[in-house]
Amino acid sequence: MARIKEERKEDFEAIFLEAVDEGLRSTLGNTPTRVIYYHFEKKQLLKREDIPYKPEVFAEGLDKILGTGATIIKTFIIKNLYKKLELDYEELEDKDFLSCVEYAKKRMKSQKCDVIFGLG
């Protein structure tokens, strides 16, 4: 079972947002990333800091802005998120972005419980 580094006590939302930032910057660069965030705030009414709480709005917005190219960025984000949480990433065609995010969130929550109750 994958373990979260004990010194990493951030909440899921902070880790997910970091993965989003890094995923966008690594694929698009800094300036396009800022443009995407600006577009989200003005057109999608989604502030950067709210992305972890509304990943479905974020995913839908990326699809609208980037079309099929959004799939590549969402894959980078998920791979980065799973790496940060020390989860194995298996590229399965039947798993969509939101399912992967939800899975990571559940795994992090269960790992925290294991640490709290001394099960892991």
- What pLDDT score does 90 carry? 75
Residues 6+ apart with CB under 8 A from 99: none
- What pLDDT score does 91 carry? 61
Ranges of each domain in the chain = 12-116
The correct CATH number of 12-116 out of 1.10.357, 1.10.1200, 1.10.10, 1.10.3470 is 1.10.1200
Q: What pTM was estimated for this model as a whole?
A: 0.81
* pLDDT tens per residue across span 17-27: 999 999 999 99
- What pLDDT score does 116 carry? 42
Q: Give the residue with greater pLDDT, 94 vs 97.
A: 97
> d(Cα 104, Cα 58) in Å, to the nearest integer?
17
Q: Cβ(84)–Cβ(19) under 8 Å?
A: yes
- Using the structure block, give the residue that is written with the tokens 């010194």: 7
Across the chain, what does the average pLDDT equal? 84
Q: Cβ(76)–Cβ(18) under 8 Å?
A: no
> d(Cα 28, Cα 88) in Å, to the nearest integer?
25
- What pLDDT score does 92 carry? 53
Residues 6+ apart with CB under 8 A from 61: 39, 40, 43, 44, 46
